């Protein structure tokens, strides 16, 4: 055991030792002192980059290398958050907390645990339970109660790499959701981070949309995170209760996928919500998706003989046909969760293929109305767009709505006005 720890320690610090031999101090490269101001750093970078630019030194074989070193030094300390990391850890990177603690004990790095995003006014640094409650209940209320939080540890290299991505994500989400960050190395944040299993972790909260700490599990790209938040807040997943269940589901001609769910005490129920939202968005206009909280609607769920949670049922268009229950199999407790993720992907792929002809007929008039309202000159692009996006018409429409920062509900009046205009024209 002791030998294993010794080997791990040597491996962990071998790269740091190499860094110390070949890495130059960013402040030295730029000719600055450690307490240099931000404006002094910018001036030094501008002066040196102009002086040593390869184009100004065509006969110097070392010009490219000097220019690279100057740019790298500025990347390390030119931006406030990056400088904080550099001042604390230099060029060292840590994949786990054990490596970090060992580096601290050996004096390789400072013991400070500075917060990220201190220079970013559109990302709130949460400090403690009271701060969290206040921000969730008041600040996030400005955006309909939606809040995206990053839980991180400053020593975590993946958290450091996510920092610029999260900043761009926060900019994209302005007006959509509030954005915050929790430094899990802070003592006052330990309670908030108890359920966090790894760093970084992104969680979305929205009481208005019944989104409770749903975890992001996709690529660390600003546009991908942004789309996930938008999908999660889409009202396509309908909340059902004893007042609307009969009329909405049982007395309608619509196909329904209903999730009989439960509260926070049921982890599989929480895991099912995210893929249910994805399906609801993907099948919008074709299949209605709903969710029932059986903790609240006990009588309703008992009348439907719900045997466990989550309980997923498909109600066909013809309600005289027995509903299809998506059950467990093979002793695996909740395979519905994985199945729903797979179904979400399959439904988006297959439905587009099956309904290409329908979408190719329906979408051009909608695009025309949208373009005439926002960019009339783009109407002539419609044939080329339909060809380029064949088989992905739904994605094209969603992309156009996002380009103009609108949604289906907000542009509905445009189609109504267009229909009235066409009707009036026919009467003439």
> What's the pLDDT score for residue 334?
56
Contact (Cβ atoms closer than 8 angstroms) between residue 273 and residue 211: yes
pLDDT band at 15 (very low <50, low <70, confident <90, very high): very low
> What's the pLDDT score for residue 97?
63
pLDDT band at 424 (very low <50, low <70, confident <90, very high): very low
- Report the distance separating Cα 417 and Cα 422, nearest Å: 9
CATH, range 2-105? 1.10.287.110
pLDDT single digits (tens) 317-341? 877 778 888 765 544 445 666 666 6
CATH, range 237-351? 3.40.30.10
Helices (H) and strands (E) in the chain, counts: 17, 10
> What's the pLDDT score for residue 427?
34
How far, in Å, are 245, 312, 346 from residue 325 at the CA level? Answer: 17, 6, 19
Domain 124-232 architecture = 3-Layer(aba) Sandwich (3.40)
pLDDT single digits (tens) 116-156? 888 888 999 999 999 988 888 776 555 567 899 999 998 88
pLDDT band at 10 (very low <50, low <70, confident <90, very high): very low
pLDDT single digits (tens) 41-67? 889 888 898 888 888 888 888 889 998
| Res 195 pLDDT > 70 | yes
pLDDT single digits (tens) 227-249? 999 999 998 999 999 999 999 99
Are both 2-105 and 237-351 of the same fold? no
- Report the distance separating Cα 377 and Cα 380, nearest Å: 7
How do the domains of the chain map onto residue ranges? Answer: 2-105, 124-232, 237-351, 356-427
pTM, to two decimals: 0.63
Angle between helices 267-282 and 222-232 (to 10 degrees): 100
pLDDT single digits (tens) 65-117? 998 998 888 887 787 777 777 777 666 666 666 666 666 666 666 655 678 88
Contact (Cβ atoms closer than 8 angstroms) between residue 305 and residue 264: no
User: Percentage of the chain surpassing pLDDT 90?
Assistant: 32
């Amino acid at each position: 055991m002791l030998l294993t720890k010794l080997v791990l320690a040597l491996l962990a610090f071998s790269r740091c030792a190499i860094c110390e031999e070949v890495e130059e101090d960013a402040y030295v490269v730029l000719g600055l002192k450690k307490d240099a101001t931000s404006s002094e750093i910018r001036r030094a970078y501008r002066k040196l980059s102009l002086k040593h630019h390869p184009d100004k030194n065509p006969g110097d074989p070392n010009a490219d290398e000097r220019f690279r070193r100057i740019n790298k030094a500025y990347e390390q300390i030119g931006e406030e958050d990056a400088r904080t990391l550099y001042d604390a850890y230099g060029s060292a990177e840590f994949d786990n907390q054990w490596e970090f603690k060992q580096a601290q004990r050996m004096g390789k790095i400072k013991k400070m645990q500075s917060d990220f995003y201190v220079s970013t006014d559109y990302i709130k640094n949460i400090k403690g339970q009271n701060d969290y409650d206040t921000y969730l209940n008041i600040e996030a209320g400005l955006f309909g109660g939606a809040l995206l939080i990053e839980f991180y540890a400053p020593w975590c290299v993946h958290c450091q790499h996510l920092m610029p991505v999260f900043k761009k994500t926060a900019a994209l989400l302005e007006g959509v959701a509030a954005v915050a960050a929790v430094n899990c190395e802070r003592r006052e944040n330990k309670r908030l981070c108890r359920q966090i299993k790894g760093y970084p972790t992104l969680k979305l909260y929205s009481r208005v949309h019944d989104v409770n700490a749903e975890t992001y599990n996709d690529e660390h790209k600003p546009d991908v995170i942004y789309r996930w938040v938008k999908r999660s807040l889409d009202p396509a997943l309908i909340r059902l209760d004893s007042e609307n269940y009969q009329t909405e589901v049982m007395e309608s001609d619509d196909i329904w996928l209903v999730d009989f769910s439960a509260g926070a005490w049921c982890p599989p129920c929480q895991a099912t919500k995210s893929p249910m939202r994805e399906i609801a968005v993907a099948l919008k206009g074709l299949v209605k998706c709903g969710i029932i909280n059986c903790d609240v609607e006990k009588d309703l769920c008992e009348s439907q003989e719900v045997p466990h949670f989550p309980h997923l049922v498909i109600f066909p268009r013809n309600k005289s046909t027995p509903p299809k229950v998506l059950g467990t199999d093979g002793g695996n407790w909740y395979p519905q969760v994985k199945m729903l993720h797979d179904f979400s992907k399959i439904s988006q792929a297959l439905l587009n293929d099956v309904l290409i002809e329908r979408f190719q007929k329906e979408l051009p008039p909608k695009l025309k109305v949208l373009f005439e309202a926002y960019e009339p000159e783009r109407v002539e692009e419609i044939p080329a767009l339909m060809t380029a996006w064949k088989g992905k018409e739904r994605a094209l429409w969603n992309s156009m709505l996002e380009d103009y920062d609108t949604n289906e509900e907000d542009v509905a009046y445009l189609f109504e006005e267009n229909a009235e205009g066409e009707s009036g024209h026919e009467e003439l």
